[in-house]
Structure 1
């Protein structure tokens, strides 16, 4: 987010680059059973896949039978070294999230962690997409490739590489963020909005 945030006092903001269509076609989804059947004559590969799939190979993992989704996004955390994580509960009323505003000290290095549960089947090519706005104007967009995950009873996590918050008088103020957890097949596992303030200091 850091360097790409533009001066909010400028008279104009550059138009966002259009989405570039890729020729990449994600492979068709396969069930756990199909994955285990593929190349089963290769003993070492079979053992590797069984280790990788873990408990999922025993017939699928269902953590919440009342939730039909394969990916249940539980929490977003803003992580700064030496400070307690600032967390958003994503399992409740998403409309209330904007009322909980994070305060970020200008120039600080931070990471974003997403906690989620994968159930029923393997998910392929998970992505975290984040668009940041100030006064309704888009100022930043980032996409992180999260990866493919087997179903597990435990919460799984992805943490973004470190980002530097912008600094300076012009950077201080309130921002809103639109976050999306999606995948190669463009399934929207969760979409939510939240907000943060950049201030001179944590206690300001």
Structure 2
């Protein structure tokens, strides 16, 4: 296993896949208008007669937050990271999020699609303890058309390790990118496994 930074986010590429030229929402809207299966696919992406170009002053996809939830947290409580807030992201590099050993948890990503079509968006996460990589997540967010309302997708459902050897700080690198390799967000954060939340 290599721990070089360049290997951390390698995507499992499909042999022979070559991305097609990007298309606008209008081009997709008019593409094979009489093809029934393609019409259903376009509808699943939110591309219809009323689909507009969206806000092209923003990136195609904006990551809003990362949320960690657990049934063992007090009712209604969750741990949320505002990915759009540089001050909060900077703080997370030095002040770890405290988590409880052995507890089930879920991680959710909230995002908006501002314009165009996002194809095969995925969340990747590499967890290291010291120089050693201890876990890697490569979760599909999906393909979406323009929609200003935020979407939320669960990307991790797991259990924190427990025991004396598991306790301590872990470094996490997170990234969201699409099938064509376009990176929309990348950030680092720390969490600390302890006996309590």
CA distance in 1, matches of 2:15, 2:67: 34
Does the aligned pair in 2 maintain the 1:36–1:50 contact within 8 Å? Answer: no
Question: Given the alignment, which residue of 34, 46, 52 partners 1:41?
Answer: 34
Aligned position for 1:79: 69
Give the TM-score normalised by structure 1: 0.79
**Structure 1 residues 125 and 196 mapped into 2: Cα distance closer, same or farther (>3 Å)?**
same
Does the aligned pair in 2 maintain the 1:173–1:197 contact within 8 Å? Answer: yes
Does the aligned pair in 1 maintain the 2:108–2:156 contact within 8 Å? Answer: no
**Higher share of residues assigned strand:** 2
**Unaligned ranges ≥5, structure 2:** none
**Structure 1 residue 191 and structure 2 residue 181: aligned?**
no
Aligned position for 2:81: 88
Q: Secondary structure at the match of 1:179?
A: strand
Deviation at 1:56, TM superposition (A): 8.6
Aligned position for 2:111: 116
Deviation at 1:43, TM superposition (A): 5.6
**Structure 1 residue 126 and structure 2 residue 121: aligned?**
yes
- For the aligned residue pairs, the C-alpha RMSD in angstroms reads 2.6
Does the aligned pair in 2 maintain the 1:77–1:86 contact within 8 Å? Answer: yes
Aligned residues: 186
**Structure 1 residue 23 and structure 2 residue 19: aligned?**
no
Question: Given the alignment, which residue of 145, 153, 163 partners 1:150?
Answer: 145
4+ runs of 1 displaced by more than 6 Å?
none
List per-residue Cα deviations over 1:1-55 (Å, max 9, x = no partner): xxxxxxxxxxxxx546975654051542332222222221246753663464157
CA distance in 1, matches of 2:195, 2:109: 26
